[in-house]
Amino acid sequence: MGNRFTARIPAAAPAVVAAAVALAACSPGGGYGRDELQRDLNGVRNAGAIGVQALVTAEDGEPIHAVSGVADLETRETVPLDGRFRIASDTKPFVAAVVLQLAGEGRLSLDDAVERHLPGVVRGHGHDGRAITIRHLLGHTSGIYDHSVDPEWNPFATRKTFDERRFDHYEPEELVAVAMRHPPAFAPGTAYAYSNTNYVLAGMIIRKVTGNPWRAEVRDRVIEPLGLTRTTLGEDWRMPSPHARGYHQFEPGGPLVDATLLDPSAGDAGGALISTPRDLTRFFRALLGGGLLAPELLVQMKDTVPEGDGRYGLGLGWSPLSCGGGYWRHGGAVPGYLSAEGFTEDGSRGVVVSVSTFRADGPRAFAQEAAVTELIDNALCA
């Protein structure tokens, strides 16, 4: 459920920045083709990935889709083209888009206090839902503790807890209750810290406002209108085919464990969806191209605060490019799968990468992440 490969984002943001970052979209040229993509995918594989796939799109011309490595360590089958994978925190932009649509319809305000919609839910150990807004939730500026890093609760923390609890189901109220056992990281609106609990609460607000589960609203407002026929809601442990198996290393030097099948409810609205590179591409292009949100709502989504070496808005992140300018993205991490993407300002050009290996060995994990980042940079700067 983590963002950008790791379960935690480096803490940043000394203060919330009110104005959006000025973005100069880098224009990818025609110098990045199938050979270059295959080269970069092989680099990700050589850095430690069992399997990896990517899709590169431009304003004109056919999309370029390539794979490297294998889908199954036992059968040695090739990674399927446009295979499904758990998109983890790439779920968050879908949920944020729904909340922003509801704001546009006047059914809620981004400046509503959480307490207004979920009375008494955000309370305890210094948490106060009266001081936290929906905007704070979507932008990770609420200060709310991240339930997914609670060492006593986390079902994916070790091989033992994973084996014992991988199919356990959790209700969103249970996840929030875990977070409420801990004090907040800071006063609402004063800093940034990534917390999956923020989006669990956003999903609960969607349900309260609409009367429907967040999955139903994502399906009706995003998945079906965009024709995302290979995107599924992650309602149970099943993993639709075709897919590469997801391999997870729980400790440095430990074995790679097949983590393909698990109950996604631990991530809930912060990380449950399953999709493909083609569907994620269609989603981000529609989102950034104005196909899902009115212009003024997209501006608010892109209103960012510092986040490590990049910036974060409302369910949407931004990273710099080596050639100048930057790209919009989110990314995600869940046992067995990592996702990353980058799209130019209007979404017309971009790349989506799925890696079916999550390593705990620091050097190999960093090398794998660096190889994916280099692929995105090459594809957008060619």
Three-state DSSP at 131 gives: coil
Q: How far apart are CA 88 and CA 174, in angstroms?
A: 19
Three-state DSSP at 380 gives: helix
So what's the pLDDT on residue 21?
28
Query: Could you give the C-alpha distances from 234 to 32, 93, 231, in angstroms and in order?
Result: 34, 16, 9
pLDDT (mean) for 89-97: 98
So what's the pLDDT on residue 30?
55
- Is the pLDDT assigned to residue 5 strictly greater than 70? no
So what's the pLDDT on residue 54?
98
Q: Is the peptide bond before 242 cis (omega within 30 degrees of 0)?
A: yes
Comparing C-alpha atoms, which of 54, 50, 41 is closest to residue 73? 50
So what's the pLDDT on residue 31?
84
pLDDT band at 382 (very low <50, low <70, confident <90, very high): confident
Domains of the chain: 34-381 (3.40.710.10)
Beta strands 127-128; 310-312: pairing state:
unpaired
Residue-wise pLDDT for 216-271, tens only, equals 999 999 999 999 999 999 999 999 999 999 999 999 999 999 999 999 999 999 99
Residue-wise pLDDT for 32-90, tens only, equals 999 999 999 999 999 999 999 999 998 776 899 999 999 999 999 999 999 999 999 99
DSSP secondary structure code for residue 63 in this structure: -
Residues of the chain by 3-state class (helix, strand, coil), percent to 5: 35, 20, 50
251-256 contacts at long range (C-beta below 8 A, 24 or more positions apart): 251/158, 251/159, 251/360, 252/360, 252/361, 252/362, 253/361, 254/159, 254/360, 256/50, 256/73, 256/357
Integer Rg of the chain from CA: 19
Catalytic-residue membership of 109:
no
Choosing from 68, 89, 195, 354, the catalytic residue is 89
